[in-house]
Amino acid sequence: MNFIRIAAAFPVAVAVVIVGVSIAHTQFVLAALASIGAPASLAINLDTTLFDIVGLAPTLGPVIAIALAIGFMVAAVLKRVLLPLAPLAYPIAGAAAMATALVAMKLAYHTTPLAGARSMVGFLTMCAIGAIGGLVFSRLLPPDEKPS
């Protein structure tokens, strides 16, 4: 039963991060465009946001899923060793997973493919969304798997 709950919690956390990162990315890009005079109506904002969620999911989704899987596995081990940090293990892992994925993409492509993460504020926002995904994951775990 625990495996099923863990297996169910993971895709929910991944979906939260994909949607959150997509929305944040879109808002950073639209804000930059608006600052140079591009139209920024509510309709354009909503259409672009939905378009980006759907468009980014197939390519960004696997990157986020792999990063979170590695981060959550490391957190599952470390939370048993670093007991004072156990309640924060998965949120920290989510933030670290996003940071690692963004840095790895920058190194691989010599630019950050996710334009919304090119500024420090954007980068930190994406990491915070990873932390939210980690928090969601930890809250959905079975009681004996939750941080102490």
From the list 81, 87, 83, 65, the residue with the least C-alpha distance to 135 is 87
- What is residue 104's predicted lDDT score, i.e. its pLDDT? 95
- What is residue 145's predicted lDDT score, i.e. its pLDDT? 54
- What is residue 57's predicted lDDT score, i.e. its pLDDT? 94
- What is residue 142's predicted lDDT score, i.e. its pLDDT? 77
- What is residue 101's predicted lDDT score, i.e. its pLDDT? 96
| Alpha-carbon span 30 to 21, nearest angstrom | 14
From the list 59, 62, 133, the residue with the least C-alpha distance to 95 is 133
**CA 68 to each of CA 43, 57, 124: distance values in angstroms, whole numbers, following the listed order:** 33, 15, 16
Q: Along the 148 residues of the chain, how does pLDDT read in single tens digits? A: 578 888 899 999 999 999 999 999 999 999 999 999 998 889 999 999 999 999 999 999 999 999 999 999 999 999 989 888 888 999 999 999 999 999 999 999 988 888 889 999 999 999 999 999 999 999 998 776 555 4
List the chain domain ranges. Answer: 2-145
Amino acid at 4: I
Q: How many CB atoms lie within 10 A of CB 97?
A: 29
CB of 133 closer than 8 Å to CB of 14: yes
What is the model's pTM? 0.90
